[in-house]
Chains A and B, each alone.
Chain A
Amino acid sequence: MCLAVPGKVESIRDESGTRMGRVNFGGVVKDVCLAYLPKVAVGDYALVHVGFAISRIDEASAQETLRTFAELGILAEGLAELQASDEPAPPP
């Protein structure tokens, strides 16, 4: 379940007491209910599922995660090199 897609909040309005917003998903703009993210602001990224924003995307956390991936990549390569250099030379 849970096809939820990140989008950028472009505008916020009140629709008869319900907090609604226009959210831009890579060029596609849809009306989204923001009632569950009372603190989300224009410019924030939100995760949207069936027309409702259910979570704010934490930019700092996202950067941290991507950094971990990058470092892991380097680490993995480094280890692979190390392992390769430890290997005995192949027989002639």
Chain B
Amino acid sequence: MKHLAEYRDADTARRLAAEIGRIATRPWAIMEVCGGQTHSIIRHGIDQLLPTEVELIHGPGCPVCVTPLETIDKALAIARQPGVTLCSFGDMLRVPGSHEDLFAIKAAGGDVRVVYSPLDAVALARAHPERQVVFLAIGFETTAPANAMAVKLAARERLPNLSLLVSHVLVPPAIRAIMRSPGNRVRAFLAAGHVCSVMGTWQYPPLAREFGVPIVVTGFEPLDLLEGIRRTVVQLEAGRHELENAYPRVVTERGNEPAQAVIGEVFAPVDRAWRGIGVIPESGWRLAEAYAEFDAERRFDVSGITAVESPLCKSGEVLKGALKPSQCPAFGKECTPRTPLGATMVSSEGACAAYYNAGRT
């Protein structure tokens, strides 16, 4: 595929890795805040190419992992109701709630459907006026324009049977929370390239300054990741802490302004609890008041839901980079991909699942 295959060249990857090895003179801990980047790193074995000086810490960049337990439980409660068709991205189906997951609801007779795009949920609502279609709208900023459009279409077409359970999370507040958490070892960030393709890069220079960390906007293919890491190490070695864009073919400083405009219209900031981490102020988006009628939390009575987190699950520590998955006492024992305690073991991007499947000890 064009614009993909060129960035996977093995020879160039090895040379980039060698260059990183040449310039790194002491240990640096770099965090990538994007589950997609974690997935790519593990899939291609990129961390195995890096010199021992460079440590990659996998951050809370998988919306599947950080979607609050309450949200999952609400989705499950809604899916159980007769006449409801719950639509979700595939990633979410096996994420454990307090007691079960969407797969279990499906097995019990609930109408749960995997969709590729929020537009598929809209199409379902149009085609089945007799059903209440609820879309589980999770994701980082990247997915917000798509979810927002679903709401706008529903409003424009006056679809009475579509609603969204919204749980968007934002990267910049997460970076703040990580840098402020005690015991933090992260010295630099690879910013999520696709989040930035939507939001631009303008939010990051203040963070780089405030916390004294290089922030390099990075893509997802092996050469993009290695180049992002290389530029980060260059900054670290030079004592600089600036924003740099290593993914310019897709990311601009201002980002996608039409998308940001629609996001601003449809969503509003909200304090959000990140599963395993806790509440990070203004770190999420909910539906704006103007679109309240499409809010599934208002349409369905889900107020009484209290989440019960597994006491054994340490995904929060893992997500902050404070604990390696293999250091968690439950890792590989009570907690495996088949019997996950937390979302980091469910999602293929989750650090715990990635470690487990890569056979790391």
Direct contact of A and B (CB under 8 A): yes
| B257 to chain A: closest residue by CB | A36
A55 touches B197 (CB 8 A): yes
Q: Which residues on A sit within 8 Å (CB–CB) of B227?
A: 65, 68-69
Does B184 count as interface, using CB distance less than 8 angstroms? no
Shortest distance in angstroms between A73's beta carbon and chain B's nearest beta carbon?
A: 4
Q: Scan B175-186; emit 1 where CB is below 8 A from any A CB, else 0.
A: 000000000000
| B89 to chain A: closest residue by CB | A50
Q: Which residues on A sit within 8 Å (CB–CB) of B251?
A: 55
| B139 to chain A: closest residue by CB | A1
Q: Give bound CA distance, A49 to B19, whole Å.
A: 32
B11 touches A73 (CB 8 A): yes
B250 touches A26 (CB 8 A): no
B116 touches A54 (CB 8 A): no
User: In the complex, which range does the number of interface residues on chain A fall in?
Assistant: 35 or more
| B contact residues, total (Cβ < 8 Å) | 52
Q: Which residues on A sit within 8 Å (CB–CB) of B143?
A: 1-2, 49-50
Q: Which residues on A sit within 8 Å (CB–CB) of B89?
A: 50
Q: Which residues on B sit within 8 Å (CB–CB) of A58?
A: 248-250
Contact (A54, B16) CB under 8 Å given A1-B194, A18-B153, A47-B194: no
Secondary structure call for the A interface: mixed
Q: Give bound CA distance, A3 to B192, whole Å.
A: 11
Interface residues of A in 41-69 (CB under 8 A from B): 45, 47, 49-52, 54-55, 57-59, 61-62, 64-66, 68-69
Q: Which residues on A sit within 8 Å (CB–CB) of B142?
A: 1-2, 4, 49, 54
B258 touches A72 (CB 8 A): no
| A83 to chain B: closest residue by CB | B22
Q: Give bound CA distance, A68 to B198, whole Å.
A: 25
B2 touches A50 (CB 8 A): no
Contact (A6, B195) CB under 8 Å given A36-B145, A80-B18: no
Q: Give bound CA distance, A73 to B2, whole Å.
A: 21
Q: Which residues on B sit within 8 Å (CB–CB) of A75?
A: 19
B248 touches A47 (CB 8 A): no
Q: Scan A1-17; emit 1 where CB is below 8 A from any B CB, else 0.
A: 11111101000000001
A1 touches B18 (CB 8 A): no
A-B contacts besides A49-B142, A69-B12, 7 pairs, CB < 8 Å: A1-B142, A33-B117, A33-B149, A51-B116, A51-B119, A69-B223, A73-B12
Q: Can you give 10 contacting A-B residue pairs, CB < 8 Å? A: A1-B194, A5-B1, A33-B117, A37-B256, A54-B194, A57-B3, A61-B248, A62-B249, A76-B19, A77-B15
